[in-house]
Structure 1
Amino acid sequence: MTGKLLFDGDVVVSGGGLAGLTLALALHRAGVKVAVIDALPLDTQADIAFDGRASALAYTSWRMLEQIGVAKHLKGQAQRIEDILVVDGRPLDGLKPGGPGVDNLHFDRREIHPREEGEPLGYMVENRHTRIAAAKCAHETGLPVFAPRRALSMQAHSGHGVLELDGGDTLQASLIVACDGKMSRLREGAGIRSLGRRYGQSAIVLTVEHELPHEGVAYEYFMPGGPFAILPLTGNRSSLVWTEKDAPARAIAALDPQGFQEALEARFGDFLGEVKPVSQVHVYPLGLMLAERFTAERLALAGDAARTIHPIAGQGFNLGIRDAAALCEVIVDALRAGLDPGSQAALTRYERWRKTDSAALALGTDAFNLLFSNDNTALRHARGLGLSLTNAIPVARRFFMRTAGGETGDLPRLLKGEALSL
């Protein structure tokens, strides 16, 4: 039985996760004829059981969410990050930014945004709330969403691409964008190879409640098994990203409630008072993946389909947003000039814009994890010296803050807070 052509337009985004929906909303608001498809209903992805993670949104990423209408739906759900404290060692009682103790590196947002109500270093938002906000925007703006529908394959033709769905129906557009995750079916179907490896580490992710306020401070402790991050959420809550080798991570997550509480207290300390879990415990295996190419005929990769990196720098979702901002600008510029947004020229511009930045950050986080996730005495002295020296040089601190905020390089207009339209 022959299926139906459900959509014919400029762009089809395959994957309605955070990166895919952000891209689709940006294009839709700019006046581009776009549709998004996902294997799951958008409501399913907003359930806390689906994804217990929270994401650190760089301040440039937040500007884009404001421009496309997502940020207004996150009122009361986004926690400003005012300071970041990087420490080589375990949490210590009473440790505060700039305080005495072990080697540490303190990032203070006032160094780059000095006004009292200026931009923070970023915002912490639970992924489910970001998905709910994006889904509300999709509904409000009439963005065409086909879900639950599964994309099976893509066919590239001289003037368009065709996405073939389960059941035989198709979607057609000048450009197909693969935002279908690290195991991307479309990337594999296009013959794009990927490079990478497993780290032998897993992230234990959960939300905790603590007695004392975090004051908007994010903590990153480097331990032999991997980083232990305490990331501020609204209220007296924090998101933990507790990295361990695979076997210990599974063992910790499998502990009974009392055993897990004891392990948590031993690692967390009591510098924020009493602490207790208030969510499910999720375990995510960690690895590096970088696509050899970000484009193929009538196809562009974005988000986790293009690369996945270690969460050590909290940049995973931000890279997806930067992909979305750059690709949206490329597509809008092409259409405004009366050109084909899926042409080789447009795709080459996008790949050059995003691939170097992605490769540099992927390899940088890989090296950083190797340097810090061990207990080698010589390396401990070297990294402690590095943290102390960086902390003592204001220009170095400001450079790292602006880099983490996504404000270096050729910045897309959406990340500057500027609107795009045809």
Structure 2
Amino acid sequence: MSQNPPASTGPAPSFVTDALIVGGGMAGLTAAIALARAGLSVVLVDEQPPPLTVTPEFDGRVSAITHASVQLFKALGAYAAMAPFAQPILDIRVSDGRPGERPSPLFLHFHHGDVGPEPFGVMLENRHTRIGLMQTLAGLPQVTVLAPAQATVVERTPAGVRAVLADGRTIAARLVVACDGKASPLRAAAGIKTVGWDYGQVGIVTTVEHEKPHHGVAHEHFLPSGPFAILPMTGNRSSLVWTERKDLAPALMALGHEAFDGEVRRRFGDHLGRVVSVGPHFSYPLSFHMTTRFVDTRLALVADAAHAVHPIAGQGLNLGLRDIAALAEVLADGKRLGLDPGDGEVLARYERWRRTDSLIMGSVMDGLNRLFSNDAAPVRLMRDLGLAAVNRLPGLKRFFMHHARGTVGKLPRLLEGKPL
């Protein structure tokens, strides 16, 4: 297909590009770098001013970055700026219990050395991930970042994409990549349906300091209201991702500092000594959705625009990074064949690659949350026995450890640390 810009009968566009990316979160920033590495020109549009998005107040969350996703950031040239702030995840311990009680003696323990010398991944504060990605983008002349800016009109036809910004500037592109979040306006405008549900749960996120070192161990402690994850950060700090019932969460968030810390300690335990929360607390509703399609005419959905899963195993961001790696690879391969990046067959390959994997991962996360957010005694006994059984079956245990590393399935080249 022709590589010429889409024809226009009106004034010349302000920007002409191969790919327009709408949304400048971690997914949008990564997609811009990956598509540039694939040889495409890129315009990234985001509503937020970049200085705001790297403040602790904007996003105080911490994300688990799997080994495969670390390889992607390395291959994109972005990881060097992130590495000083990254805490390796050396062990994972999964247990069951109730607030104020000792965890069940039946548990599952993963040690990274059982599957290789490198850690399962790293814990990284979202703002440091954003800073590393922004620094990398600054060195890519084929990427134009427009922020703050809003795409008020995005028209897609077989001939090309035309976008109009709120300030009147226009963009002509061959492909638009939707990185515009769970409520994706681009997805809605394309008429792409989603299947999903609300969990009736809220995720409470905060950072704590503790007396004893964590030794790089991540804890997934299942409580009646949902998982309570203790995730190691640099220094004697951990990030908590605390799943709570939606009806109880507002009262917890309204507690004073001492009372809130008391509730944290009831769930955290004393294995790391005294625990004190530091910085702000965040909360957000938990839900699941999966789109019926990942593509439309000259449109590709990635990350939250395509799927949102429960944070039970910290795979949400990594699932989106797998989307980006796959999309960049099919576009790079298409470019070598002289294909238009918005070509229907190119996008169909992306959808085939990612939809099944995303559906399987989302279903597994949903099933685990339902299984472990249940306090019925027979169910608790069966899942405790299941954890203990997996702990004693080396083959099955290694399979789950490879899942934790993000190294299961057909991996895009970037997730293996290879160039496009």
TM-score by length of 1: 0.94
AA aligned opposite 1:217 = V
Q: Segments of 4+ in structure 1 off by > 3 A?
A: 90-95
**Residue 64 of structure 2: aligned partner:** 56
State which drifts further: 150-159 or 364-373. Answer: 150-159
Alignment of 1:97-176 (within 5 A): 102-113=105-116, 118-142=117-141, 143-176=143-176
Matches of 1:377 and 1:354, distance apart in 2: 38
Matches of 1:229 and 1:274, distance apart in 2: 17
Counterpart contact for 2:93–2:217, Cα < 8 Å: yes
How many residues get paired? 410
Aligned-pair CA distance for 1:182: 0.2
Alignment of 1:213-232 (within 5 A): 213-232=213-232
AA aligned opposite 1:28 = A
Aligned-pair CA distance for 1:289: 1.0
State which drifts further: 205-214 or 248-257. Answer: 248-257
Alignment of 1:195-274 (within 5 A): 195-274=195-274
Matches of 2:14 and 2:398, distance apart in 1: 49
Matches of 2:163 and 2:324, distance apart in 1: 20
Counterpart contact for 1:80–1:123, Cα < 8 Å: yes
Counterpart contact for 2:102–2:269, Cα < 8 Å: no
State whether structure 2 residue 59 is matched by structure 1 residue 46.
no
Q: Deviations over 1:175-198 (max 9, x none)?
A: 100000001010000000111111
Aligned-pair CA distance for 1:206: 0.5
AA aligned opposite 1:137 = T
Q: Deviations over 1:246-299 (max 9, x none)?
A: 121121111011211211122212110111111100011100011111001000
Aligned-pair CA distance for 1:93: 9.3
**Residue 89 of structure 1: aligned partner:** 97
**Residue 4 of structure 2: aligned partner:** none
AA aligned opposite 2:388 = S
Matches of 2:46 and 2:21, distance apart in 1: 9
Matches of 1:6 and 1:18, distance apart in 2: 26
Alignment of 1:273-352 (within 5 A): 273-352=273-352
Task: Name the SS for the 2:418 alignment partner.
Answer: coil
State whether structure 2 residue 40 is matched by structure 1 residue 32.
yes
Counterpart contact for 2:100–2:267, Cα < 8 Å: no
Matches of 1:390 and 1:3, distance apart in 2: 64
Q: Deviations over 1:333-366 (max 9, x none)?
A: 0011101111110111000000001111111111
Where in structure 1 are there 5+ consecutive unaligned residues? Answer: 96-100
Counterpart contact for 2:15–2:172, Cα < 8 Å: yes
Aligned-pair CA distance for 1:221: 0.5
Matches of 1:4 and 1:383, distance apart in 2: 63
Task: Name the SS for the 2:202 alignment partner.
Answer: strand
State which drifts further: 82-91 or 236-245. Answer: 82-91
Counterpart contact for 2:38–2:329, Cα < 8 Å: no
State which drifts further: 22-31 or 369-378. Answer: 22-31
**Residue 98 of structure 1: aligned partner:** none
**Residue 77 of structure 1: aligned partner:** 85
Counterpart contact for 1:3–1:168, Cα < 8 Å: no
Q: Deviations over 1:165-218 (max 9, x none)?
A: 213322221110000000101000000011111101001100111110000000
**Residue 31 of structure 2: aligned partner:** 23
AA aligned opposite 1:124 = M
- Computed over aligned residues only, the root mean square deviation of the Cα atoms, in angstroms, reads 1.6
Counterpart contact for 2:99–2:223, Cα < 8 Å: no
Matches of 1:398 and 1:3, distance apart in 2: 59
Aligned-pair CA distance for 1:4: 6.6
Task: Name the SS for the 1:280 alignment partner.
Answer: strand
Q: Deviations over 1:130-161 (max 9, x none)?
A: 01111111112233101111122321122311
Aligned-pair CA distance for 1:90: 4.5
Alignment of 1:395-410 (within 5 A): 395-410=395-410
Matches of 2:138 and 2:60, distance apart in 1: 24
Matches of 1:268 and 1:403, distance apart in 2: 25
Matches of 1:198 and 1:91, distance apart in 2: 24
Matches of 2:316 and 2:64, distance apart in 1: 9
Counterpart contact for 1:12–1:176, Cα < 8 Å: yes
Task: Name the SS for the 1:141 alignment partner.
Answer: coil
**Residue 6 of structure 2: aligned partner:** none
Matches of 1:153 and 1:141, distance apart in 2: 26
Counterpart contact for 1:250–1:283, Cα < 8 Å: no
Counterpart contact for 1:4–1:168, Cα < 8 Å: no
Alignment of 1:382-393 (within 5 A): 382-393=382-393
Matches of 2:11 and 2:265, distance apart in 1: 57
Identity of aligned residues (%): 48
